[in-house]
Amino acid sequence: MFIEEPENHLSPVNFRRLVQQVAFAKNFQLFVTTHSSVISTRLKSNNLLIMYQESDNLTISRCRNSF
């Protein structure tokens, strides 16, 4: 599933519900663009990948426990 900035389109209650359901889902992939720390703090960080682009280079890295 792809979701772009869900914090802008869902109420805070529904946004937290979405994150909670994703956290307990099995065999599920979610791609999210977000500025919210709720996603990164509610999900297991070893399951998160961070993608970012600098110039022409796309970097993908595992999220560390630094929240």
Domain total in the chain: 1
Question: Is residue 18 situated within a structural domain?
Answer: yes
Please give the span between the terminal C-alpha atoms of the chain, in angstroms, as a whole number: 24
Question: Is residue 39 situated within a structural domain?
Answer: yes
Question: Is residue 38 situated within a structural domain?
Answer: yes
What is the per-residue pLDDT across 5-61, written as a single tens digit (0 to 9) for each? 888 988 989 988 988 888 788 887 878 888 888 777 777 777 778 888 889 999 988
C-beta of residue 16 within 8 angstroms of C-beta of residue 39: no
Question: Is residue 67 situated within a structural domain?
Answer: no
Q: What is the pTM of this model?
A: 0.58
Look at residue 67 and tell me whether its pLDDT is greater than 60.
no
Question: Is residue 46 situated within a structural domain?
Answer: yes
C-beta of residue 28 within 8 angstroms of C-beta of residue 51: no
pLDDT, position 65: 62
| Token pair in block for residue 28 | 């599920």
Residue 24 belongs to what domain range?
2-62
